[in-house]
Amino acid sequence: MKQVAQQILEEVVNMVENVNKRECSLEKSSALRGYCEKTICLPFDQTTYDDVLHDNTSFRNYLDFLIQEHSELFPSDITNGYWLHDFCRPSKKMNGFQMRRIISASTRKTYIIRPSFVMPYLTGKTDTVEKALFLLQFAVPYWGLTYVFGRNDMYWYRMATAIGQHSIVGTTVKSADNLPQDLLADEKHTRFNGQKAYIAATVGDDCVLGASVSLTADTEGLTEAYAHFKAEAVGLKSDYQPQTVNTDGWRSTANSWKNLFPTIIIINCFLHAFLKIRNCAKQLKDVFIEVQQMVWDAYHETTSTAFLNKINDLKIWTQKNIAHSTAKAAILKLCLNAPAYCLAYDHPTAYRTSNMIDRAMNPMDRYLHETRYFHGHLDTAECRIRAWALIQNFSFYNPKTQRLKNKSSPFHTLNGFTYHKNWLHNLMIATSMAGPPG
């Protein structure tokens, strides 16, 4: 009888486990996100939109003005002419709201004109959801957004994740001439369904230009992850070739960038070498202060010859004055790698330290921790981190930074202009035709 009961219990446990077990796809979309977009998002306020929507002359005049001012928001052949087409079906979700379509005269392709005050798929008004989405960069959980702004957790989750469907590079960089020639790359350790994973992040000119989840930290996995940045950048400029990339020295990172851009120069981060010394030698107290001074004196030299001389002095001093084996090894390792750090002197605009990417990785770390990392399908995780990157690029700087830089956001700093004073309107407009010309 006990054996029968035990067998029944095991069968019940197996049934429960099978019910709770979720098969999550490890496939990641290889398609260029946002590149087949058929919607043109334009800066409209609702009053203007209501006034011109049914007036063919006024509507065309407004489009012609925007084509002249911001041609990048339209398909490349728009200058060959276009026709006003029909009206979209009135929306049941938004009380009969309507949009118009136009047809390209040369390609006969049809495009929907969507005003920036409504979100994609008419899921809400931009002004209604922008404050909630703004708080995502501060790692506010979805249930917190629900408590403050209403709706439900899945509404905010889907709203945020959908932003990640757009091209990061095509949305953020509005002119091929603004593509950075000097980049920074690093991997953020994270968790995917309880297993270790990595986010391959690419930063340039204070903007996050790439963010992709890799399940491994080897060359193959990181090459695939960083390749998403390359695909989007090449889509914007076919012959794009960055000059340098700053990395933390991880061999697989360097190999992946060499695979993607064979002529790129790998700049090892000097800060990481110092941090290793600090972690090993800070217990040496007064001696560490002297070591620290010597290391940064070498860093601030303006020529490679002077840099190497200072490093040689540091090497000799270390061999005479430091007996602590771990600290001594860390200092001598920096001295051994000195020729690699000299590469930065041949490229004056290259980033010698990882400070810029660290400024992006720190809030990313908080976001991942508060949202309990990734659970579900890999492609959904990809969209989530891409959405975080775009929100980071378009969200306002804090007021003090805005006053110092006289710029409102990283997008504003990179491009020198904004489409709209509201950050989410600006993001939605920038997604218009983001990617290679349609």
pLDDT of residue 5: 59
Within-domain flag for 320? yes
Structural domain boundaries, residue 63: 39-121
Nearest to 132 by CA among 141, 144, 145, 119: 145
Tens digits of residue pLDDT in 352-368: 999 999 999 999 999 99
CA distances (Å), origin 77, targets 87, 232, 299: 22, 20, 50
pLDDT band for 77, please (50, 70, 90 cuts): confident
Nearest to 242 by CA among 171, 347, 353, 360: 347
Q: Residue 153: how many CA atoms within 13 Å on its side-chain side?
A: 6
Helix or strand run (H / E) with residue 48 = helix 46-52
What average pLDDT score do residues 279-308 get?
Answer: 89
Within-domain flag for 90? yes
Within-domain flag for 393? no
Within-domain flag for 408? no
Contacts of 182 (CB under 8 A, 6+ apart): 204, 242, 243, 244, 245, 246, 347, 349, 350, 351
Please say which residue of 298, 325, 346 terminates a domain.
346
Residue 273: CB atoms within 10 A of its CB come to 24
pLDDT of residue 9: 59
Within-domain flag for 183? no
CA 67 and chain centroid, separation = 28
Which range (5-9, 55-59, 68-72, 230-234) has the least confidence?
Answer: 5-9
Within-domain flag for 382? no
What average pLDDT score do residues 270-288 get?
Answer: 85
pLDDT band for 4, please (50, 70, 90 cuts): low
Query: What is the average pLDDT score of the chain?
Result: 90
Tens digits of residue pLDDT in 214-245: 999 999 999 999 999 999 999 999 999 999 99
Please say which residue of 327, 346, 365 terminates a domain.
346
Within-domain flag for 100? yes
Report the number of distinct structural domains present in the chain.
2
pLDDT band for 34, please (50, 70, 90 cuts): low
Within-domain flag for 288? yes
Tens digits of residue pLDDT in 374-426: 999 999 999 999 999 999 999 999 999 898 889 999 999 999 999 999 999 99
What average pLDDT score do residues 132-140 get?
Answer: 91
pLDDT of residue 14: 58
- Quote the pTM value: 0.89
Please say which residue of 64, 99, 121 terminates a domain.
121
pLDDT band for 335, please (50, 70, 90 cuts): very high
